[in-house]
Structure 1
Amino acid sequence: MAGIYIHIPFCKQACHYCDFHFSTSLKYKDELLQALVKEIRLQKNYLNNETIETIYFGGGTPSLLEADEINRLLNTITELHTVSSTAEITLEANPDDLDDAKIKSLRQTDVNRFSIGIQSFFDDDLLWMNRAHRSRHAEASVKRAQDAGFENITADLIYGYPLLTDTKWKQNLDKLFELDIPHVSAYSMTVEPQTALAVLINKNKQPPMNDQQSAAQFTVLMQAMADHDFEHYEISNFCKPGHYSRHNSNYWQGVKYLGIGPSAHSYNGEARQWNVANNAKYIQGIETGKLPAETETLTQENRLNEYIMTSIRTMWGLDLNRLNSIAQASADELLIAARRYFDNGWITKKDDVLYLTHTGKLYADNIAAGLFF
């Protein structure tokens, strides 16, 4: 099995914290869509005839696409690949895009899952982030989608920023539970270089993020999700049983995937490649029939460390028996590195699988780095 990711690099406006590749101008939208179709054709052999189990429209803001544009891309994929009849097909969407007309038109596509970028239900927070939507759009978009028969919905939230008190954070979570959304992705606010947020902090126009606040709100998040019977299946992801993001789970489990569009990444089990993060250069490259991408062949050490980094973050854990199959690595060597995390209660072991404890989840990135070969 395999997955396909399509990057749609357009947004109405730039969120202050975002460092993804996008443009706020739709000037070259038609040319970009033509290039996406051409790249799908250029890359038709990349996945070596694997059945496509997931397709994910990310960005940017894919909900800016019209239904016929989505169908054009999906039709090209189904023409060239075997797509499972039960494929998960996700569209990232901003709440303000999901009006009645858009949702009705999306019923005419094979999209069967929405990832809605809510981030907060408080207007002052959304203004601070420079989001395009308001709280009323968020709640209304979820209800519209559900009323139209889209039950497979995930919502994004952000925590750990100055305006977000613990009381507001709990109210954000309560609103999601009230809306009966089966999957939630929640991320700590990070300050990426060269973003508007980074500039404002550097000029002392905004306070820096507070690690203690972030850790405290992550702890509140974990408890609230457990209280409402959500599984904490990856550090930033929670779901009702059976509602995992199949596409994102593929990333964490080392499944092959093809990335289409500017800045998109691909992985075939042996190497990674990534397209240029520039719309004009991407379009020009595709028009000449040459993929504007760089490639890195993964060493055994790369593959080991990637497995460690992704698996330890999930509820399925790090299987010591897989180390030898990846690179003839010694489980004993990794267990020596892990000893300090056992001692301080951050990792536990059961049947040759390592798992993060409740406390260990607060330090997932540091633990993964400490286990690298």
Structure 2
Amino acid sequence: MINELVTEREWHHLYPEVDQEYVWEYPLFRGESEPGKNLFESQDTPLSNDLGLYIHVPFCLYRCPMCGFYMEIVKDRSFSKRYTDALIKEFMTYKAHFDFSTKKLKSVYFGGGTASLLEAEDVGRIVTLIKDTITNNETVEITVENHPNIATKKYLEDLKKIGVNRVSFGIQSFDDADLRLLKLKQREEQNVKILQTALEVGFDTVAADLIYSIPNQTIDVFLSNVNKLISMGVSTISLYSMGLSERQEDLYDLMPSQEVEHQMFSESMQLLLENGYVQVAQPDFCLPNHINHDTEITWKAPQGEQISLGAGAWSYYNNFLYCNTHNSKKYMEDVFNNGYSIQYIQKATLDDQMSRYMVLGARCFDIPDEPFKNYFGASIFDIYGQEIRLLESQGLIERTKTGISVTMNGRYYVDNISKTFYSPANRCRLQPYCYGVGDEWR
């Protein structure tokens, strides 16, 4: 797999036009390499000893039309035990090859797909194994993503009993007109009920996602969605700009203008800040002491390392970027036979590593110079002086005592900022979406 190459204009929209591509992974694949080669043969000194484990559950009961990620349709939870057995065997491979004694486990994150299709008992098996293996885990955050239509009170209670302390929900909107237009199956009543239930169960953190700039959505409707989450006491609120998939071409003409989208973002940001939330990343707003550890591991400079388990999962460890097979049947066959199912792997070059610090660090707004200088032997101002001066002139970043920081106006343009720091080898390559979309479970 090679991340698709496009023209400069297709790849990067220049300020003041907002870039619509969501930058979530870096560096990008530029060519194929032998699966697994060298990953277990050397141990680079990491930027940080913080470690996150991500467990990918790529199964859904149906495909949401707006989703552009790899997933497979299942009819029920019958896949759970066998798939979990494969996840455990894959983790045991990493346990056999990597020294975790110096690592601090910050996050165990079950995502999807629909992570709440995994039986709670199987979630518990994985959590127990990981915590028994990586013992520096006193502050670990354990998250399970949930679908409002699938999670039940008993399921949430079972998750809490096995040590899950954070749950998140893809609420998207409380407006039934929005939900019908997006062809989502939940409605306002279900969204409200499941959030109330999660809050009653007593997780440390309850998180919810909202989408703004939905076709025909008004600013007032979106702000009412944000206000509802605030009034309910939801501790982490993530705001995602609407991106249409190729299955939604009929909605293109109904999309709000960039000016309206910008106003939605700015007014909702102001509303959340006034109510005590802190924006820790684009798109995450959290109440104090509810910072998303998975976000910090993945993006915040200096970034930690992340090992991801499961079909279609992406990892960055030992300065290797690699992804697993995007087919659950082949993934399990490979793991049961070989211990892993790596489909593509690429060693990060020095340029990749330095630019990764900047590209992903921008998503969490503050990029400190000292860790960069200690690790790479040069200042961010020496390596990226031209890019920093350009972004300063546009009012998107500013210099601080410790490095650089994204301005309040720049937070809307984070993807523009991130792409400014792409290395030449990564420019004009698109982010990975929709690779190996699976058929029904077999």
TM-score, scaled to structure 2: 0.78
Identify the match of residue 293 of structure 2 among 234, 243, 246. Answer: 246
Look up the match of 1:2: 51
1:51, 1:205 → 2: CA distance? 45
1:59 corresponds to 2:109: no
Which position in structure 2 is the counterpart of 1:84? 137
Task: Please state whether the residue corresponding to 1:258 is helix, strand or coil.
Answer: strand
Quote the Cα distance in structure 2 between the aligned partners of 1:138 and 1:41: 37
Post-superposition shift, 1:340?
2.7
Q: Aligned partner of 2:90: which letter?
A: E
**Aligned-residue offset at 1:66:** 2.2
Aligned 8 A contact 1:47 1:257 in 2: no
| Corresponding residue to 1:235 among 266, 282, 286 | 282
Aligned residues: 365
Q: Does 1:220 align with 2:267?
A: yes
- Preserved CA contact (<8 Å) 2:80 2:117: no
Over 3 Å counting, the alpha-carbon distance change for 1:300 and 1:144 in structure 2 is: same
Counterparts of 1:274 and 1:143 in 2: how far apart (Å)?
A: 36
The AA in structure 1 aligned to 2:341 is: P
Judge conservation of contact 1:2–1:47 (CA < 8 Å) in 2.
no
1:288 counterpart residue number? 337
Q: Partner residue of 2:126?
A: 73
Q: Who is 1:194 aligned against?
A: none
Change (3 A) 1:318 1:83: closer
User: Mapping of 1:8-27 within 5 angstroms?
Assistant: 8-25=57-74, 26=76
* Structure-2 residue corresponding to 1:367: 417
**Does 2:212 match 1:159?**
yes
**SS of equivalent residue, structure 2 residue 89:** helix
Q: Once the 2 structures are TM-superposed, how far is the Cα of residue 166 of structure 1 from its aligned partner?
A: 0.6
Q: Greater relative contact order (Cα 8 A, min sep 6): structure 1 or 2?
A: 2
**C-alpha deviation, 1:206, in angstroms:** 4.8
Give the 3 Å change call, closer, same or farther, for CA 83–72 of structure 1 in structure 2.
Answer: farther
The answer to whether the 8 A contact 2:51-2:304 is kept is yes
Q: Which residue of 2 aligns with 1:198?
A: 246
Secondary structure of 1:348 counterpart: strand
Runs of 4+ in 1 over 6 A off after TM superposition: none
CA distance in 2: counterparts of 1:124 and 1:12, whole angstroms: 22
Q: Find the residue that maps to 1:97 and give its secondary structure.
A: coil
Opposite residue 115 of structure 2, the aligned amino acid is P
Q: Alpha carbons of 1:257 and 1:344: their partners in 2 closer, same or farther (altered >3 Å)? A: closer
Measured against aligned partners, the alpha-carbon deviations of 1:175-206 in whole angstroms (never above 9, x if no partner) come to 01110111111111123xxxxx42331xx465
The aligned counterpart of 2:95 is: 44
Percent identity, please: 27
- Structure 1: how far apart are the matches of 2:118 and 2:419? 39
CA distance in 1: counterparts of 2:204 and 2:371, whole angstroms? 36
Paired residue type of 2:373: N
Distance 1:222 1:296, change over 3 A: same
CA distance in 2, matches of 1:46, 1:155: 36
Following superposition, the deviation at residue 302 of structure 1 comes to 0.4
- Post-superposition CA distance 1:138-174 (Å, at most 9, x none): 1111111111212411111111121321110011011
**What's the offset of the Cα at 1:365?**
1.6
1:301 maps onto 2:347 in alignment? no
- Match for residue 85 of structure 2? 34
Paired residue for 1:268?
Answer: 317
Q: Equivalent residue for 1:355?
A: 405
2:321, 2:348 within 8 Å by CA — same for their partners in 1? yes
Could you say what secondary structure the match of 1:82 adopts? coil
After superposition, the Cα gap between the structure-2 partners of 1:81 and 1:323, relative to the gap in structure 1 and judged at 3 Å, is closer
2:393 and 2:127 map into 1 onto residues whose CA distance is: 50
Equivalent residue of 2:107, what SS?
Answer: strand
Tell whether the 8 Å contact from 2:315 to 2:322 is kept in structure 1 after alignment: yes
The Cα shift of 1:59 comes to 0.5
Query: CA 1:131 to 1:328, structure 2 compared with 1: closer, same or farther past 3 Å?
Result: same
From 375, 390, 394, the equivalent of 1:340 is 390
- CA distance, structure 2, for counterparts of residue 105 and residue 65 of structure 1: 12
User: What are the within-5 Å matches in structure 2 for residues 315-334 of structure 1?
Assistant: 315=365, 317-330=366-379, 331-334=381-384
What amino acid is aligned across from residue 236 of structure 1 in structure 2? Answer: P
8 Å contact 1:161–1:214 — kept in the other structure? Answer: no
Verify: 1:126 aligned to 2:179, yes or no. yes
- Secondary structure in 1 aligned to 2:180? helix
* Cα offset, 1:325, TM superposition: 3.4
TM-fit CA distance, 1:77: 2.1
Quote the Cα distance in structure 1 between the aligned partners of 2:263 and 2:283. 15
2 CA distance for matches of 1:205 and 1:173?
23
RMSD over aligned CA atoms reads 2.0
Partner of 2:33: none
Contact 2:173 2:188 in 1 (8 A): yes
Once the two structures are overlaid, the 10-residue window that deviates more, 11-20 or 75-84, is 75-84
Cα distance in 2, alignment partners of residues 313 and 109 from structure 1 = 32
